[in-house]
Amino acid sequence: MSKPINLQLGWPSTRLFPVEQLAEATQAALSDPEVASSALIYGPDLGYAPLRKSIASWLSSFYQPAAGEIPSERIAITGGASQNLANILQVFTDPEVTQRVWMVEPTYFLACTIFQDAGFSEKLRGVPENDGGIDVKWLRKALVEFEGRSDSHSSHRTKPSEQYQKIYRHVLYLTPTFSNPSAKTMGTNVREQLIDLVREYDILIISDDVYDFLRWPEEPTSESTKLTPIPPRLSDVDRATSSDDEWGNAISNGSFSKIVAPGVRVGWAEGSPKQILRLSETGSTRSGGAPSHLTSTFINHLLTSGSLQKHIDEVLIPTYQSRYRVLMTAIKQYLQPLGVLITTGSPYMETTENTTIVPAGGFFTYITFPPELPSADIIAKRAKEEYSLIFAYGEMFVVQGDKTSSERSHKGFGRGARLCWAWHEEKEMQEGIERLAKLLRIMLKECQT
Ligand SMILES: Cc1ncc(COP(=O)(O)O)c(C=O)c1O
């Protein structure tokens, strides 16, 4: 049996962890008595203040938001994007009042359980993607239909309004940049349309912005990767455009998992100061202090010393960029001639000074198998059994509990697969694609007989 190759795993290769920088940061934090004593006691509810400040300034220089520098009042420290998603639901939703959780499909499948834990098992609904990343018209129509129903309003609430001052009527969950799993990036105009829509229908956008920092030009170019543009976050659009509502409608869910290491369990939330303050009042934070407090002091050192940005620029981006090129070349060489398509939507692009740059980035790409082949789960099963090759097949990304999402998947994303370049080295990725091509050739022949 050949060596297993796992193109499903959305984890960074362990050799890419900044171990030495973390050791130095740990030493620096713990050998400073002032930092050590504040790091080892309960943290403030909003999180370690120096880290909130460094994140605000780092995000300001990365995103250059139209509304200007990000104040640290817009930032709270979290235990990572998954933990924070659960916290957001605790304070801003009520299963009686919050009517629907809309999830862009194909969706990051592990998020479904977090919504189910919060009482939304019956209320998860998929929103189809189009080439622009989300079908906004479809969502508007679904909202109009839903709000027109006689049973769409309930006067009962589980959480008292004195304590839970802001409960949103709907939630929209998405990964708008280098999406997990579809790799699509929504353009600026799509984001503007979304912000208009969510304000109209009292929707809270929870945007997992966890891949943004890993980006490079799609085509090899002499341009510095630092110039690779990405669109503003939904929280930037929400902040930049006027609204009378101080709560706001978009929270950016950020994480150091993909750029430092998942084990550090540190992330951040960015939203309106009112949202951020209320988020920090989650019961478990009030009792235990901000999550990941000790590790926050290490991450702060990585940011203020510049070693994290250096690691991203000099290790992560060059490695992922190079693996991306190997993977895409192998797909074009071995899979496209068999009828496999790369289905990552219309590329986001920006033109500056006569140069058009199309960014690629994140961890994933998405392919769709030719229609004559059996379903993707059958291909995945055979790939695993016969070629020791694992990949995430389309049906895994159905919005759980939504029959229509499952039906749509049969005709669309369910016929595809997500491939990840974060875990394996270039040689193994190339080998993985060659194994898949061998299997597809056999399966295509079987279809003809
Ligand atoms: C879209 C998305 N959200 C959240 C996570 C998990 O983030 P964290 O490690 O910060 O909990 C992942 C990791 O795969 C992800 O792809």
Shared domain for 264 and 318, answered yes or no, is no
Ligand 1 binding pocket mutation candidate from 255, 265, 292, 420 (most atoms within 8 A of CB): 255
Q: Which atom of ligand 1 is nearest to the CA of 256?
A: 10
- Looking at the structure of the chain, the number of domains it has is 2
Shared domain for 359 and 265, answered yes or no, is no
Split at pLDDT 50, 70, 90, the class of 8 is: very high
Q: The CATH number of the domain where 408 resides is what?
A: 3.90.1150.10
Residue that finishes a domain, picked among 276, 306, 336: 306
Shared domain for 249 and 396, answered yes or no, is no
Ligand 1 site, residue 180, Cβ cutoff 6 A: yes
Shared domain for 313 and 442, answered yes or no, is yes
Shared domain for 104 and 173, answered yes or no, is yes
The distance in angstroms from the start CA to the end CA of the chain is: 28
Split at pLDDT 50, 70, 90, the class of 115 is: very high
Residue that finishes a domain, picked among 246, 271, 306: 306
Q: What are residue 204's phi and psi, to 5 degrees?
A: -100, 120
Element (H, E) at 322: helix 317-330
Ligand 1 site, residue 252, Cβ cutoff 6 A: no
Shared domain for 406 and 315, answered yes or no, is yes
Shared domain for 64 and 94, answered yes or no, is yes
Residue that finishes a domain, picked among 306, 327, 344: 306
Identify whether the C-beta of residue 268 lies closer than 8 Å to the C-beta of residue 76: yes
Shared domain for 319 and 178, answered yes or no, is no
Ramachandran assignment for 165, one of left (phi > 0), alpha (psi -120 to 50 degrees), beta (any other): alpha
Q: The CATH number of the domain where 70 resides is what?
A: 3.40.640.10
Ligand 1 site, residue 8, Cβ cutoff 6 A: no
Query: What number is the average pLDDT over the span 145-165?
Result: 87
CA angle 360, 366, 368 (to 5 degrees): 140
pLDDT at 100 over 70: yes
Shared domain for 237 and 181, answered yes or no, is yes
pLDDT at 209 over 60: yes
Query: What number is the average pLDDT over the span 274-301?
Result: 97
The tens digit of pLDDT for each residue in 224-260 reads 555 678 899 999 999 999 777 899 999 999 999 999 9
The tens digit of pLDDT for each residue in 69-91 reads 999 999 999 999 999 999 999 99
Identify whether the C-beta of residue 48 lies closer than 8 Å to the C-beta of residue 290: yes
pLDDT at 222 over 60: no
Ligand 1 binding pocket mutation candidate from 210, 396, 418 (most atoms within 8 A of CB): 210
Shared domain for 99 and 149, answered yes or no, is yes
Shared domain for 35 and 97, answered yes or no, is yes
- What whole-number distance in Å separates Cα of residue 254 and Cα of residue 173? 14
Identify whether the C-beta of residue 424 lies closer than 8 Å to the C-beta of residue 5: yes
Split at pLDDT 50, 70, 90, the class of 267 is: very high
pLDDT at 126 over 90: yes
* Segments forming the whole domain that contains residue 435: 5-15+308-448
The tens digit of pLDDT for each residue in 387-433 reads 999 999 999 999 999 999 999 999 999 999 999 999 999 999 999 99
Q: Nearest CA to 345 among 363, 358, 357, 331?
A: 358
Shared domain for 268 and 363, answered yes or no, is no
Ligand 1 site, residue 409, Cβ cutoff 6 A: no
